[in-house]
């Protein structure tokens, strides 16, 4: 991998969050964890120098490999050339991609070592807007992975955890040491499986996440106080919490999706709008 980069004059870009996977054994293990194989259509975002791309293609997958950094394309195409039409390499910004065009049909998987600087907003956007992807296996910073899968009461639990729980089941498959990347990051990573599902609560998502974001904006504040920052007076905030069956003194980090949904329904019934 380093020889390939040197031949093409490539140095990893810190501004693009580039940490290239250089352990082929781990790349093969990731493919096995993803459960993909011959004929499966796989989206890879941030293909980099192709370590994971090659492992996916070796397993018989049909891979759409997206890469934002034009400097990497010649090297990426070189390592993917032996797989012919099974690998399509494209220059694209995943945060602005036309997914309806890029991912036709149904039943896509996404298997990616995501760039650190866009992993959370990108994953949340895909879960919300791209129903053609029905399973994800993503490499992210360990801290990010813990946030994606956290449940109420855990230190990493926050608004991102609730947003993921609304749209998917997520769990950490394995933790990954920093020494399998080039350059070596300062933190370990985590491999997270995400499987989309129908939202388990029936409530307007815009209103729901306005309540969630307000609740986590100041972690030391109670939900009763958080509601006052949504425009309610003290008496109204207490009434909303009581009607929702919750203690006004409870903090957001103790509430699950169902509790946030109950608060949101009560607010909407009383005429509040985000």
Express each pLDDT in 105-151 by its tens digit.
Answer: 999 999 999 988 899 999 999 999 999 999 999 999 999 999 999 99
Chain segment 142-152, per-residue pLDDT in tens: 999 999 999 99
Quote the CA–CA distance of 45 and 67 in Å, as a whole number.
Answer: 6
Given a cut of 90, whether residue 270 has pLDDT beyond it is yes
Nearest in space to 198 (alpha carbons), one of 226, 168, 177, 176: 168
> 56: closest CA among 110, 18, 93, 101?
110
User: Which whole number is the average pLDDT over 190-216?
Assistant: 97
Per CATH, 2-196 and 205-269 having the same topology is answered: no
Contact between residue 45 and residue 112 where contact means Cβ atoms under 8 Å apart = yes
The H or E element spanning position 160 is helix 159-167
Determine the Cα–Cα distance for residues 31 and 33; give it in Å rounded to an integer: 5
Give this prediction's pTM: 0.94
Q: In what order do the strands lie in the sheet with 41-45?
A: 87-91, 62-67, 41-45, 108-113, 133-141, 189-196, 168-176
- In this predicted structure, the answer to whether residue 34 has a pLDDT above a threshold of 90 is yes
Residue appearing with tokens 């749209």: 167
With respect to CATH, is domain 205-269 assigned 3.20.20.450? no
CATH number of 2-196: 3.40.50.150
Residue 76 has pLDDT above 90, yes or no: yes
| pLDDT level of residue 190 (50, 70, 90 thresholds) | very high
Number of Cβ within 10 Å of residue 56's Cβ equals 29
In the chain, where are the structural domains located?
2-196, 205-269
> 67 forms bridges with which residues in the sheet?
91
- Name which of 230, 235, 232 is nearest 274 in CA terms: 230
Cis ω for the linkage preceding 183 (within 30 of 0): yes
Q: Residue 173: exposed, middle, or buried by beta-carbon count in 10 A (0-12, 13-18, 19+)?
A: middle
Q: Is residue 224 classed as helix, strand or coil in its secondary structure?
A: helix
């Amino acid at each position: 991998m380093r020889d390939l980069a040197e031949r093409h004059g490539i140095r990893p870009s810190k501004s693009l969050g580039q940490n290239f996977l250089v352990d082929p054994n781990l790349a093969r293990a990731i493919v096995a964890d993803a459960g993909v194989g011959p004929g499966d259509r796989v989206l890879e975002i941030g293909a980099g120098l192709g370590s994971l791309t090659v492992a996916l293609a070796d397993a018989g997958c049909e891979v759409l490999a997206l890469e934002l950094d034009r400097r990497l394309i010649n090297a990426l195409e070189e390592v993917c050339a032996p797989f012919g039409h099974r690998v399509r390499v494209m220059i694209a910004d995943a945060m602005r991609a036309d997914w309806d065009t890029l991912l036709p049909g149904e039943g896509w998987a996404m298997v990616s070592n995501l760039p650190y600087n866009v992993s959370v907003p990108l994953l949340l956007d895909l879960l919300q807007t791209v129903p053609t992807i029905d399973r994800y296996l993503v490499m992210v910073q360990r801290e990010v992975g813990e946030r994606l899968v956290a449940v109420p009461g855990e230190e990493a639990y926050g608004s991102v955890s609730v947003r993921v729980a609304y749209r998917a089941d997520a769990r950490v498959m394995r933790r990954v040491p920093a020494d399998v990347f080039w350059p070596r990051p300062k933190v370990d990573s985590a491999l997270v499986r995400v499987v989309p599902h129908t939202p388990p609560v029936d409530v307007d998502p815009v209103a729901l996440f306005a309540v969630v974001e307000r609740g986590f904006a100041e972690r030391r504040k109670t939900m009763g106080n958080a509601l006052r920052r949504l425009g309610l007076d003290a008496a109204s905030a207490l009434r909303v919490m009581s009607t929702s069956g919750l203690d006004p003194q409870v903090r957001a980090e103790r509430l699950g999706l169902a509790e946030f949904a109950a608060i949101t329904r009560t607010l909407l019934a009383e005429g509040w709008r985000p």
